[in-house]
Amino acid sequence: MSLVVRKYIPQLIVSVIIVLSIAFYYLYINDSVAKGLTTADKALSDWAVIVTSFALIVGGVDILRYHLTKIRREGLRQAPFSAVTISLLAIMVILALIGWYWSYANPKAGITITTQPQFTWLYSNIYAPADSAMYSILVFYIASASYRAFRVRNPPALLLLVTAVIVMLGNTTIGGLIWPGFLGLRDWIMTVPNTAAFRPITIGAGLGTIILGLRLLTWREISWMGRRD
């Protein structure tokens, strides 16, 4: 029984979904069948959204478990940080629930989960700046990574460096002051050689996905299920 639940049922679901996805995309027969297929396809992705949403609850519980264990093990040293995480998590959930309540209790007020005033305030004044700040950190990392990576160790590295310099100058207004041609050259590098290098990776990844699909379909790819026996 356990083997059926742990191994065969998940594999069967995966196989059926793969076949259905292909059928939804290619089959037609007549207008009403095609419409039915589209509806089924939309339903399938709606299910995925629903499953994902429930998984977020599991995620919330997992975060709580992690932090409570950490507080228990490390005591006061960890407690303030975990307290911030846990309380913010709770506050966002409560505010969203209030918004949800109002969207039903008084729809005319126009308050929903995402437009609940305090929720929006926290989102735009705490989450958004923090999120942007993390993204901005990339500026520093790109700088230090390129500083290390663009060392002329051999002729191909020199080629890489020259290309990088042209693209960087093309991206700036100062580059245009030095030589107006940088802009056109940057566009050429990005649209011709760069795209040519990207396409095989995309094609290869697509082929890899198809063969991964075959292994899933024939029940040979089992690593994603965890236990093997």
Partner 1 sequence: MSGSISLGKILESRELLYTLLLISVILPIIHPLGIPIAVSARTKAVYDYIEKNLKPGCHVYFEIYYEVAARGELEPNVVALTKHLFDKGCKIVYGSLASYGVVVFNLLKSTAADIFQGKEYGKDYVFLGYVAGGESAAASLAKSIKGTVSTDNYGNRLEDLPLMREVDKATDFDLVIIASSGTDTFAYYVRQWYTPYNVPLLFAALSIIAPSIEPYVGAKQAVGMLVGQRAGAEYEVLVGRLGLGMASMDAQSTSHMLVLAFIVIGNVVYWSRRLSSKKGGGK
Partner 2 sequence: MKAAKSLAIALAILLLIVVISVAAWFLKIQLYNPKTPLSGFLVLIGLLAAGYYYMSEARAGTTYPVRKIPAFDAIEEAVARSVEMGRPVHMTFGYGSISSSMAPQYVAGLGVLSHVARMCGKYGAKLIATLGVPEAIATTEEIVREGYYSAGRPELFDPAYNVRYFTDQQFAYASAVQATLIRENVGANIVVGPFYAESLIFMEAGNMVNALQIAGTARETQVPFFVLVADYSFIGEEIFAAGALASGDRETLASIRGQDIGKLLVIVLTVLGILMLLGGLKLADYLNWVWKVG
Query: Where along the sequence are the contacts to partner 2 (CB under 8 A)?
Result: 22, 25-30, 34, 45, 48-49, 51-52, 55-56, 58-59, 62-63, 65-66, 69-70, 130-131, 134-135, 137-138, 141-142, 144-145, 148-149, 198, 200-205, 207-218, 220-228
Within 10 A of 42 (CB to CB), how many other CB atoms are there?
11
DSSP 74-124: HGGGTHHHHHHHHHHHHHHHHHHHHHHHHHHH-GGG---TTT-HHHHHHII
When CB distances are held under 5 to 8 angstroms depending on the partner's kind, the choice from partner 2, partner 1, none that residue 77 binds is: none
Q: Toward partner 1, which CB reaches closer, 9 or 91? A: 91
In the complex, minimum distance from the CB of residue 210 to partner 1, in angstroms, rounded to a whole number: 16
* Nearest of 165, 194, 196, 195 to residue 182 by alpha carbon: 165
Q: Which of 6, 14, 150, 221 binds partner 1 (CB under 8 A)?
A: 150
Q: How far is the CB of 179 from partner 2 (least distance, A)?
A: 25
- In the block, which residue shows the tokens 């629930």? 97
Question: How far is residue 70's CA from residue 228's CA, in Å, rounded to a whole number?
Answer: 31
Contact 127, 114 (CB under 8 A): no
Instruction: Tell whether residue 198 is a contact of partner 1 (CB under 8 A).
Output: yes
Asked whether 70 and 78 are in contact (CB, 8 A), the reply is yes
Binding site for partner 1 (CB under 8 A): 38, 41-42, 44-46, 49, 103, 107, 110, 112, 114-115, 120, 123-124, 127-128, 131-132, 134-135, 139-140, 142-144, 146-148, 150-152, 161, 164-165, 168-169, 171-177, 180, 183-184, 187, 190-191, 194-195, 198-199, 202
